[in-house]
Amino acid sequence: MSTSYSSTLNLLKGHPNSSHLPASLLQSSFNRLSPSSLLTSLNYGPESGPLSLKTSLAQFLSSSNPPSPNQIFITNGISHSLSLLTSTLKPKIVYTESPTYFLSRKIFEDEGAQVIDVPMKSTHGGIDIPLFSSLLSSSSSSSPSSPSPKFLYIIPTHNNPTSYTYSLSERKQLVDLCIANKIYLIADEVYHFLTFDNTKDLNERVRQVSEKEWVVGLGSFTKIWSPGIRCGWIECDSSILETIEKQGYIRSQGGINPFTSEIMSEALIGGEVSQNVTFLNSEYAKRVESIWNLIEGCSNLKANKPEGGYFIWLEVLNAPSDFIETLENDYKLIVMDGKECGGGDGVFMRICFACLEEEEVVEGVKRLVKAVEDLTG
């Protein structure tokens, strides 16, 4: 045991480092806004968001095959999109991956839904598709009066917490299952563009796999630009979009964020968003390289190397059950306990490599490795 650490390091928080926030890029985008766009953006706007942003966003999502701007609804981020979809679809029951983003469950429960966990097929894999299929079959054969699940929520690319990315075949299987069973597939694609290797094609978004009404994709500028800008989007069929648009509070406010939307549109058109994405991906890739050999060399630590996103999901083998508390008390290292995300039996944790300074992330991982060496059998 060691007690010589003076300051506590926090690898729990999934926030960006403030030195990575695009203040000067944002300033340039803002300075280019024409007086007429600025004036328009200061008024109430269309319910689904300004056409300028929906058009530039569609191009950003795919320049070769952009979605129709009519199938995009601008929100103030994925948290908002999840709440909005849940209040629109009014589910009694929803399925989520387990483990999953720790706050998604709370959002669904706050809207009155009961959450059914669908386990991942291994501690570092995607959802157990045969198991999910059998859950769907048993739900459809249960009594017609019992409520059936309305949607499945997944994070298909660089998952939070596991960093797992579904293959195209897995995406297709899930899309087909959801369509066949008439339940929505809601894909939280917040880490889609945070794919480190820019020589690789991006994974297909779920709406590229199918544009059927059952398939809904969610995106956000939170991780590729800044959380404080509060701007995201729902990509969905116009039938859902029209139902959302009819909500009283949407009609009342006339578009979620016309002013922010206009700035983000300019930042997309002017290339600032792409420039920032390139910068973040090289920065995060460098961080993962700096810590990966420490993790890999530690025999009782099991992890997959992230190819994008914000997090590493770790299993500590042969660990005492109070490992995470001891890590905080004796090694002054705070991590997210896997149980918060619905992690399986055993000691699991999520660490974020984006938030602290790079040297601090390295120091944090060194403390973790030391704790594993000291405390595991």
The footprint of ligand PLP (CB under 6 A) covers 14, 77-79, 101, 155, 160, 188, 190, 220, 222, 227, 232
Q: Strand ranges (DSSP E) for 178-222?
A: 184-188, 215-220
CB of 220 to ligand PLP, least distance (A): 3
Residues composing the chain: 377
Helices (H), 222-271: 238-245, 248-253, 258-269
349, β-bridge pairs: 314, 337
Instruction: Output the residue with the shortest Cβ distance to ligand PLP.
Output: 77
Q: For ligand PLP, which is the closer residue by CB, 67 or 232?
A: 232
Alpha-carbon span 112 to 353, nearest angstrom = 34
CB of 158 to ligand PLP, least distance (A): 9
Q: For ligand PLP, which is the closer residue by CB, 190 or 371?
A: 190
- Pair of tokens at residue 267: 């930042």
CB of 354 to ligand PLP, least distance (A): 10
Q: For ligand PLP, which is the closer residue by CB, 230 or 366?
A: 230
Nearest residue to 44 via CA among 253, 207, 322: 253
CB of 119 to ligand PLP, least distance (A): 18
CB of 54 to ligand PLP, least distance (A): 17
CB of 192 to ligand PLP, least distance (A): 11
3-state SS, residue 60: helix
Alpha-carbon span 89 to 115, nearest angstrom = 14
CB of 376 to ligand PLP, least distance (A): 29
DSSP secondary structure string, 164-187? ----HHHHHHHHHHHHHTT-EEEE
Q: For ligand PLP, which is the closer residue by CB, 181 or 222?
A: 222
Helices (H), 1-42: 23-32, 35-41
Q: For ligand PLP, which is the closer residue by CB, 105 or 370?
A: 105
CB of 346 to ligand PLP, least distance (A): 23
Q: For ligand PLP, which is the closer residue by CB, 154 or 209?
A: 154
Q: Is 5 exposed, middle or buried (0-12, 13-18, 19+ CB in 10 A)?
A: middle
Asked if residues 313 and 340 have their Cβ atoms less than 8 Å apart, the reply is: no
- Pair of tokens at residue 109: 């429960």
Q: For ligand PLP, which is the closer residue by CB, 163 or 220?
A: 220
Nearest residue to 274 via CA among 351, 315, 215, 221: 221
Q: Strand ranges (DSSP E) for the chain?
A: 9-10, 72-75, 93-98, 114-119, 151-154, 184-188, 215-220, 232-235, 301-303, 311-316, 333-334, 336-337, 347-352
Q: For ligand PLP, which is the closer residue by CB, 69 or 219?
A: 219
Alpha-carbon span 11 to 336, nearest angstrom = 8
CB of 195 to ligand PLP, least distance (A): 15
Q: For ligand PLP, which is the closer residue by CB, 50 or 232?
A: 232
Alpha-carbon span 220 to 207, nearest angstrom = 15
- Pair of tokens at residue 235: 């990509």
Asked if residues 119 and 164 have their Cβ atoms less than 8 Å apart, the reply is: no
Q: For ligand PLP, which is the closer residue by CB, 228 or 271?
A: 228
CB of 317 to ligand PLP, least distance (A): 26
